[in-house]
Structure 1
Amino acid sequence: MSNINLNSFLRFLLVGGGATGLQYLIMWALVAGVGMSAVPASNAGFLISAAFNYWANARFTFQGGGGGHQQNIPRFLVTLCAGLLINSGVLHGLLLLNVPIWLAQLCATGVVFIWNYTVNAVWTFRKRQ
């Protein structure tokens, strides 16, 4: 049974906004503060914000849906890794096209948002019968 509905979408948007804010803050600190290039800095922020993202989605967005942490965490990690690859690929591709760094990151975030919501709702945190 899927978790796709307006309530979970709005909650996912709120949680995702917090995780994205954390990712962008870390990315900015690494790019502006230590001169790291954009893709590794974005990846670092993405991975660090993942712990918050899992916790908030499990407790707030999907309210414990799925088979508990033993089943949800491995599924979340698969979804997370795929999302990281999508983020890196979109960001890298847009930077090669000379899209400004923050516009490229916003586009990558949009693509990953759609991926994450869909897969987390229908697979990671899917309500079991």
Structure 2
Amino acid sequence: MVLKMTMFQPCERRVDGKPASYLLLAIILLVIMMSTVAEADCWEDSLKQVNRDILVMDSEAVYQVVPRDEMTSIFWLPPAHITICDSIADVDGTLMTYYQILNWDHGVPVWATRER
């Protein structure tokens, strides 16, 4: 069997590239829009007071710690350097905002809801 060597000859494009490029652009925009919703916003604060499951910050924001994290936050002592990040969660079909509160002195985060 003898193979004949031929020069590479690219095929002509059979389909116009515009619909494909619009589809690619739409997919990229969709991915960008979906990823921005998932990003968390974080800010710094200081702990002013702890009352069982209630955390009061220097900014006068009040958070109620979720029941599973109460034992962790009871031992926090003011003034503590705190980072707070918000997060949106789907709870039984309802979107809820929860806050992850990180105590830099202890290095342990808790989850909470904002009371005011």
* More contact order relative to length (CA 8 Å, sep ≥ 6): 1
| Structure of higher CA gyration radius | 2
TM-score normalised over the length of structure 1: 0.24
Q: Which has the higher strand share?
A: 2
TM-score normalised over the length of structure 2: 0.26
Q: Which has the higher helix share?
A: 1
